[in-house]
Structure formats: C-alpha cells, structure tokens
Amino acid sequence: MTYNNWLASITNVLESYHEPAVLLDEHYNVVASNQHYTHRFKPLPRDGYAKCYELSHGYQQPCDMEGESCPMKAALESGSTSSVLHIHNTAQGKEHMRIETTPITDEQERRYFIEVMKPVSEVSAEPIANKMIGRSPAFNKLVDLIQRVGKTETSVLLTGPSGSGKELAALALHDVSQRTRKPFVTVECSGLTDTLFESEMFGHIKGAFTGATSNRKGLVESARGGTLFLDEVGDIPLHLQVKLLRLIETRTFRPVGESQSYEADFRLICATHKNLPEMVAANEFREDLYHRISTFPIRLPSLAERKEDLPLLVKSILLRIDSGSPLRLDNEAIALLEKQPFTGNIRELKNILERAVVLSDRPEINVATLQQALALSLYVPENGKNTPQGLLALAQARCSLVEVEQAYIRQLLAHYTDKSEVAEIAGCSLRTLYRKLKEGE
C-alpha cells in the first residue's frame, strides 16, 4: 500500500469518530483531520502541515515545554493510549478537552498518533452563567478528577472550604454520569432535625404521625435513578448517622408508618467543609459511615489557590448579576481584588461584586467603588477584638489613609441620606465633609 492510500484509509478511520480527531507525525505535524476537527477548530493549511500545539494552544513549542503534559509524548513513552485534560483554542473560544492519543505505525514502521479531542461541556473556560469556571492548573486538576470518576457509580466526597463551589462540582459529576437525565436531588443536612430526618429522607404515609394528612414521597425516592447529593453531611447528628449508614449499605428504605421496604436507586455524592477524619477521632462522626461515603474524595481548591481564575470568575459573576448589560472592573479594581485574602472564597467574591454593582454609577467599576464595597464587609468578631475584616482588606491592599477615609465616607452616605448626620458620625463639620467629598471626585 502506498503512503497516499494508507493516509486515505486513516482519514476514513478519523471520520468514524464523533469528536474532533487528527493524525500526528513524530514532529507534531497534523497530517490529516476529520470534519469535526475542521468545524470546531479550523482547516489545515494547504501549503503544508501545521503543528498541533500551534493549532490547539497558539504555542511556539510543544506543550511539555510550556508547563503542560504532552499526550503525544506520554503515548510514545508508554506505547499505549494516553489521556490528559487540556484547554484548546476553538471557534467557540477556549474549551476544556479530554485528549486521548493512541500510537500507530505505517507499513514502513514510521510512528504516527491518532489524537481524539472530547469536549468537556460540564465546565467552561469562558465566562458563562451556572457552570464551574476556570483555566488554572488547580481547577483543571479538579475537572480531570470529576471527568474520571463522574462516569462511574463510585461514591464521591467533596471537601474544601465553604464557598468553594461544592454544589456546582456535584452538579458537574451528575452531568458527566449516565444518570444525567434523571433527577439531581439536594439534601441540606444541616437543616435536618431529629423529627424531620426520616420523614424528609424516606417519606411517610398518611396518619403516620400528627400532621401527616397525606402520603409524602421522601428525597431518596425523589432521586430514583439519579443523584442524591448530601450537602454538609458532617452536620448530621451522630445518633442519626446510623440511619444513613443503613440506607447506603442495604440500598433500601422504609417510609415512616410503612411496614414495607423499598429499593433505593441513586448515585451518592456528599460534601462537607468539616474535617471528617478529625470528627471520627473525636467520636463525632461514625467511622464506618465515613468509609462508606469517602470512596473517592475530591478536595476543591480555595480561591487563593486558583488566583489565576479571578478575572474570569469576575466576568462570569458580573454576567450572572446582569446578563443584559454586565458591568466590568477597571485594571486598578482588578489589581485590588487580586490582593484580597478571600477567606469566604467564591461566595465572598460574589458578595463583593454585587455590592460594587449596586454602588456603581457607571458601566465600569473603578477602584474607589470597589474599596467602598470592601468596606461594607466591616464586622466585629464574637471575641470582641476590633479587627474589622473590611479595614483589614484595605490594609492588605496597601490603601492610603485618604483612600480609607473616602471609602468610609461613601459607606456612611450609603446608609444615611442626611449629610449633617454623616458629618456628626464622622466627627467633622458639614463644611469639612463637603470638602472631602469634592476631593474624592
């Protein structure tokens, strides 16, 4: 078989894939592609080959020389299919792709590679509402784990600080799974009292207890065929944990007042911001239950661990706040945000941006408005020590006294309409207040 005939047959193989696919030579040249690739990326140049890393990333050298793992290199070293998660430049913008690269040889024993690119639709590398957003290495590692375990029936325990997006991660796991067309049911464990636990989880029949005027389906039954997400599972009281353990072990449940047991059918995902191993050691969480729910633990990174994603998250959150005409932050405001510790993670970032949108009178949020939004975070901790979080944030941002003063005055004006009252609270004359307002313009 001639090389052209061999290449034609390989091209036919590429067309059999339902995702973008290419044939690479040992020098990273894309020598053939299918129609899915041409549609999602762009046609190959007619006057010669193009490098895969140029087409996919805009790099001038291979991925491993840019700090990423190279799937072709991994396939060459192992002699078998390699799989990595990358972000590729496509006609739709930047997209997460699962890259599967398989080594092959032609009749002259020359090495080639078939590379199939599977788009990851459950997350986004571009600003978009209601999805996990990110491009940072920490975020991509999280997406890779979600993609790998999401396709299985394995129980997953999501851990990490509050506000890091555990419910969105649980939704992504559900969307990846074979159960995606079935219900995703969230159980807020922190709100389940002793009297409500069995009724909420397992349901009840009419007359089971005072107030049970009709049959009621429980959350376990509502999740039939789908995913049961136990949010803040660490908040379930110790004496109720045995009932959850029995449900997981037997995969059966019995509505309150019912004598018959029913089969449960759900995929279990749990989440907590608490340290469950420490709770187990302190006899505050059952060890057998912990091992049941933590088959595959995934820790979500804090916002501080993925600061590279901050500008992207800002655009996404502003889009969610107002999709019609979203505001934007100027460069100084972005620089100020990057200096914040974000102990409340993405939830805290969202609160700050919502305040800034309310306070802004222009389409671009400037640093003064953002400082005002940060100053609204003032609070006094329960221990009585005067360490306001908003002032701490301004100090960490290296704001001058003038900037802090302006932020404080704006905060007062946001709460009080009478400027005489504002001047009295600030401890200055009305004339001085007007002068300072003019200085801040």
What pairs with residue 113 in β-bridges?
A: 24, 103
Give pLDDT, residue 267: 97
**pLDDT digit string, tens, across residues 76-130:** 889 999 999 999 998 888 999 999 999 998 888 889 999 999 999 889 999 886 7
Q: Pick the closest to residue 149 from 171, 168, 181, 173 (CA basis).
A: 173
What pairs with residue 298 in β-bridges?
A: 158
DSSP class per residue in 301-339: PPGGGGGGGHHHHHHHHHHHH-SSS--EE-HHHHHHHHT
Half-sphere exposure of 236 (CA within 13 A, CB side): 27
Give pLDDT, residue 385: 44
Give pLDDT, residue 307: 92
pTM of the entire predicted model: 0.79
DSSP class per residue in 110-125: -EEEEEEEEE-TTEES
Torsion of CA 9, 28, 46, 98, to 10 degrees: 70
Is the pLDDT at 395 greater than 70, yes or no? no
Q: How sure is the predictor about 247, in pLDDT bands with cuts at 50, 70 and 90?
A: very high
**pLDDT digit string, tens, across residues 385-394:** 444 555 655 6
> Per the structure block, which two tokens stand in for 374?
């940060």
Q: Pick the closest to residue 100 from 127, 71, 62 (CA basis).
A: 71
> Per the structure block, which two tokens stand in for 233?
């599972």
User: CB–CB of 221/199 below 8 Å?
Assistant: no
Is the pLDDT at 30 greater than 60, yes or no? yes
Give pLDDT, residue 299: 97
Q: How sure is the predictor about 282, in pLDDT bands with cuts at 50, 70 and 90?
A: very high
Give the helix ranges, DSSP H, for 59-218: 71-78, 137-150, 166-176, 194-202
Helices (H) and strands (E) in the chain, counts: 19, 19
Q: Which amino acid is at 361?
A: D
Alpha-carbon separation of residue 266 from 188, 228, 333, 418 (angstroms): 17, 6, 45, 58
Q: Looking at residues 389-412, what average pLDDT do you find?
A: 68
Give pLDDT, residue 424: 78
Q: Pick the closest to residue 40 from 112, 115, 90, 76 (CA basis).
A: 90
Give pLDDT, residue 207: 74
Q: Looking at residues 34-51, what average pLDDT do you find?
A: 79
Is the pLDDT at 46 greater than 80, yes or no? no
How far is 269 from 356, CA to CA, in rounded Å? 35
Query: How many residues are there in the chain?
Result: 441
Contacts of 62 (CB under 8 A, 6+ apart): 28, 53, 70, 73
393 φ/ψ angles, rounded to the nearest 5 degrees: -65, -40
Q: Pick the closest to residue 271 from 177, 176, 170 (CA basis).
A: 170
**pLDDT digit string, tens, across residues 160-179:** 998 899 999 999 999 999 99
Is the pLDDT at 242 greater than 80, yes or no? yes
Range name among 129-143, 271-285, 384-398, 427-441 with the lowest pLDDT average:
384-398
- Is the model more confident about 208 or about 301? 301
Is the pLDDT at 306 greater than 60, yes or no? yes
How far is 219 from 230, CA to CA, in rounded Å? 10
Q: Looking at residues 376-401, what average pLDDT do you find?
A: 55
126 φ/ψ angles, rounded to the nearest 5 degrees: -125, 155
Give pLDDT, residue 429: 81
**pLDDT digit string, tens, across residues 307-365:** 999 999 999 999 888 877 778 999 999 999 998 888 889 989 999 999 999 998 888 99
To the nearest whole number, what is the mean pLDDT of the chain?
A: 87
Give pLDDT, residue 309: 95
- Is the model more confident about 296 or about 207? 296
> Tokens 């789908």 identify what position?
226
Contacts of 148 (CB under 8 A, 6+ apart): none
Give pLDDT, residue 384: 41
How far is 108 from 2, CA to CA, in rounded Å? 10
- H/E element, 85: strand 82-90
